[in-house]
Structure 1
């Protein structure tokens, strides 16, 4: 096949698996609240919703394995537990959220049907796609993603050139930090590990090219998907900010996006936006369930029964959780994200950098440090207390839910110096 065509199809497929429910409803609302500080929140959002995830795809290109390979330098037991937690979170939260968003924005405005019916039909279709996983890349890359991108660019372009003259001031005290934390809610860093593994297996199923050629394909596809995410996220944040004077402060994420669609595309806006939402959400759900089923299949020695059973369980959980409101699922996700995101970011970064700086000792030390210093962020949401606030005030960046960053960096530098010193003495 033509190599450039392969890159575009694979890159589009990757983009569509990233671009789901949160990716649609979060950026406009972030821009709406940011107002004149929209550029600062965009910088923060891009860090956790584009740069880190694309580093995850680059790490996949380097490893060309599974999610298990990301943490095996810490220990095989750690990596197994980490994989089960990540896939568990993905199946219980972001995958069902795609069905919930589809119902609230694409079904409920037009049909008087229950959310249970929507999530049931939705995940039956997801199951069909997952069971035809060899066709997933082509279906997503050739057909669904271009439609998503065209509709989105139309909304963004019209909204930019038809915006009012006034813009409300920001509601954020620390816009960059708020952008970083809102980027957590996209689940994109976790998605990079999950859908990256789907990408590897999909390429291996249909391709006989060499390891270096596959690495180039994954790397270039990742950059293409990252560029697409950057353009769309920036555009959505910008139009949310430009039009923030036209909507009430109490507006919800979903209602804001629907309002922007109607303002930009007129009477056809709701219908087109409904198609966009359904497609974007669906492709992400397919990517998540496929990735989870692939992993469990690998654990059980490539058992197709294990793959099918995992897909059934994943879709069943999707039906159960997908009935709930989007806002409820987002709120429930916050503690899980505060727990798993720091470790995920550390594993991605350590797998991207040269191996001479990322030994098993460095992996162990930095991951453990990040985990320990992320505990206050996790506990603060589950059970806030004055004693916990006293601890948080002592740790740099902890009041902003980023207390793990400096300790992890110090551990990284210290352990590398220690290793270099030991090697020098040994020689």
Structure 2
């Protein structure tokens, strides 16, 4: 069957879908905070951030297209069903009720409402706000309908227009010169690497693995039959959408650096964004931001809890979709009440473990046609990645774990034996070693196979 030639409108639809998939509230606060941390070293920090915050998410969607996967489970399947299931559970738990979904409520509250309330009432207010927030998320995702998606289509453009106005005002009336503001100690000499690691916090590479099938399915529904065509369309639309995301990231990072002319480095990006809005628009701007950000985050939360419930119901069908949905909303509500700073502090270790695994699986998936998706290559890379990634996770935990006897022993071992451990990249060299070994086994099997065929032919 002949493929339909896509129009510019088709490409725009796919690009818009990708943008909506990757851009949420968390994508606002982390680049802004990065700008404050990096100071005058904002450019190398930005480049590192764009690798894990833009390039990797795009590759994650391409990985779904290239491997013809139906979701994150299929990406891990070359290593066996047990690994694939464990990997799927970890990904969905991380972008779902453990960290990602609760963050939709805590970012809304921290950026929008907390600055309007006395500090002594904020814990109680967060409890009430998150309870209503996740009750609405549960009700809106109970039955599949287009209300939320249509609401998102309306709210996201309005929010982006307001964000654009913030950029215009910030650059016309800069709070400071980004080339002259101080850099924090970590970013004086390791700006690129720290920016690279900061990109983990967006969780977009994990989201790409979980939701990329939605985009790929949309491309196929437009009449693209060949897998090469699906990958090509996804790549073209992805470059357009991720270029827009990259531009917003760069502007946010620069604005964050400029804010140091008036403010100190904030505890997190939520505080920084609130300070900026108040500085330029006062209480009215804060109230408008609170309303719009909450509605935008609610649409994101609905998508996350629904995706969690759908995937878990598919793999654990004895538990109904509605039960998984209720579990996701309740767990997200409980986690949200630890507050934004605690969620970020405890999500970092998990991301230090999951992101290396996700990166190598994404790259293996994209290039899998070159080695015929051979399990030996997958096994070699993942085996040599998972142990140092675990070490990085232990060291990244809050002091209760990282400063324990076990934590200190792990830290000493990785610093002594693993290259780039001080940068949080102790998995990099072992992963390359695993790749070399895996490709060696694959090449040996290919040669052995040809020899066996030749012997059979001679007989």
Same fold (TM > 0.5): yes
Decide which of 331, 340, 351 is 2:365's aligned counterpart. 351
1:389 aligns with 2:411: yes
**1:140-219 matched pairs, under 5 angstroms:** 142-164=153-175, 166=177, 167-171=180-184, 172=187, 173-199=189-215, 207=221, 209-212=223-226, 218-219=234-235
Decide which of 51, 64, 77 is 1:60's aligned counterpart. 64
1:29-85 CA distance string (max 9 Å, x none): 110121110011111111111111111111122324111110000111100111112
Decide which of 82, 102, 107 is 2:108's aligned counterpart. 102
Query: Looking at CA atoms only, which structure, 1 or 2, has the larger radius of gyration?
Result: 2
1:26 is displaced (CA, Å) by: 1.1
How has the CA–CA distance of structure 1 residues 423 and 183 changed in structure 2, closer, same or farther, with 3 Å as cutoff? same
1:423 aligns with 2:451: no
1:183 is displaced (CA, Å) by: 1.0
| Corresponding residue pairs, total | 423
How has the CA–CA distance of structure 1 residues 104 and 14 changed in structure 2, closer, same or farther, with 3 Å as cutoff? same
- Alignment partners' CA distance in 2, 1:51 and 1:361: 26
The 10-residue stretch of structure 1 (370-379 or 153-162) with the greater mean CA deviation from structure 2: 153-162
- Alignment partners' CA distance in 1, 2:338 and 2:70: 35
Residue 312 of structure 1: aligned partner: 326
- Alignment partners' CA distance in 2, 1:287 and 1:228: 22
How has the CA–CA distance of structure 1 residues 280 and 186 changed in structure 2, closer, same or farther, with 3 Å as cutoff? farther
Residue 339 of structure 1: aligned partner: 353
**1:215-234 matched pairs, under 5 angstroms:** 218-234=234-250
How has the CA–CA distance of structure 1 residues 238 and 276 changed in structure 2, closer, same or farther, with 3 Å as cutoff? farther
- Alignment partners' CA distance in 1, 2:208 and 2:147: 17
**1:14-163 matched pairs, under 5 angstroms:** 14-62=18-66, 63-90=68-95, 91-110=97-116, 114-133=125-144, 135=146, 138-139=149-150, 142-163=153-174
Contact 1:10 1:137 in 2 (8 A): no
Contact 2:101 2:304 in 1 (8 A): yes
- Alignment partners' CA distance in 2, 1:269 and 1:154: 11
Contact 2:61 2:212 in 1 (8 A): yes
1:310-338 CA distance string (max 9 Å, x none): 11211111221122210011111122112
1:258 is displaced (CA, Å) by: 1.2
- Alignment partners' CA distance in 1, 2:222 and 2:54: 30
How has the CA–CA distance of structure 1 residues 182 and 135 changed in structure 2, closer, same or farther, with 3 Å as cutoff? same
- Alignment partners' CA distance in 2, 1:378 and 1:328: 16
Question: Structure 2 unaligned runs (5+)?
Answer: 451-459
Contact 1:164 1:243 in 2 (8 A): yes
The 10-residue stretch of structure 1 (336-345 or 283-292) with the greater mean CA deviation from structure 2: 283-292
SS at match of 2:115: coil
1:402 aligns with 2:425: yes
SS at match of 2:29: helix
- Alignment partners' CA distance in 2, 1:203 and 1:140: 23
SS at match of 2:78: coil
- Alignment partners' CA distance in 1, 2:147 and 2:216: 12
1:389-415 CA distance string (max 9 Å, x none): 332222111111111011112221332
1:11 is displaced (CA, Å) by: 3.0
The 10-residue stretch of structure 1 (1-10 or 17-26) with the greater mean CA deviation from structure 2: 1-10
Contact 1:21 1:101 in 2 (8 A): yes
**1:254-265 matched pairs, under 5 angstroms:** 254-265=270-281
